[in-house]
Amino acid sequence: MPADTNPAGDIFGGWIMSQVDIAGSILAHQVARGRVVTIAVNSFMFHKPVFVGDVISCYADVVKIGNTSLTISVEVFAERNRQKDEAVKVTEATLTYVAVDKDRRPRPVVTPKKGE
């Protein structure tokens, strides 16, 4: 939408950052089996711009599981020309999330047992 673009017509980096945080938090929530909060953006690299009309996909992977934290990497690809199935990597980031309890205090990450 126009509110998400800069004067050159590219999508604002902040909008991409929010999508990356959402993607990372979904995986962190699944792995931690409960609520998580973002505590750090360890790295964030914009490789190419995202244009109005691009379709983006975010792919998240677990990098590390600590006692209460999870480090997640997220790669973002933009589908530029849908007739050619052309997708280019536009962004990558690494974020850290902390699992929290109902009182928003850090809690141990409960990882799945084998077979679950």
Which domain does 13 fall in, by range? 9-99
For residue 95, what are the contacts with CB-CB under 8 A and spacing of at least 6? Answer: 20, 21, 24, 38, 40, 41, 42, 71, 72, 74
Range 8-15 average pLDDT: 90
Say if residue 10's pLDDT is above 80. Answer: yes
Per residue in 11-43, is it b (16+ CB within 10 Å) or e — as a string?
Answer: beeeebbebbbebbbebbeebbeebbeeeeeee
Per residue in 60-100, pLDDT (tens digit) is 999 999 999 999 999 999 998 766 778 999 999 999 999 99
- Structurally, how many domains does the chain consist of? 1
User: Does residue 2 lie within any of the structural domains?
Assistant: no
Judge contact between 25 and 97, C-beta under 8 A.
yes
Which DSSP letter does residue 67 get?
A: S
Per-residue model confidence (pLDDT) at position 115: 63
Report the alpha-carbon distance of residue 51 to residue 82 in Å, rounded: 13
Per residue in 21-47, pLDDT (tens digit) is 999 999 999 999 999 999 999 999 999
Report residue 110's pLDDT band, with 50, 70 and 90 as the boundaries.
Answer: confident
The domain that contains 20 carries what CATH number?
3.10.129.10
pTM, two decimal places: 0.89
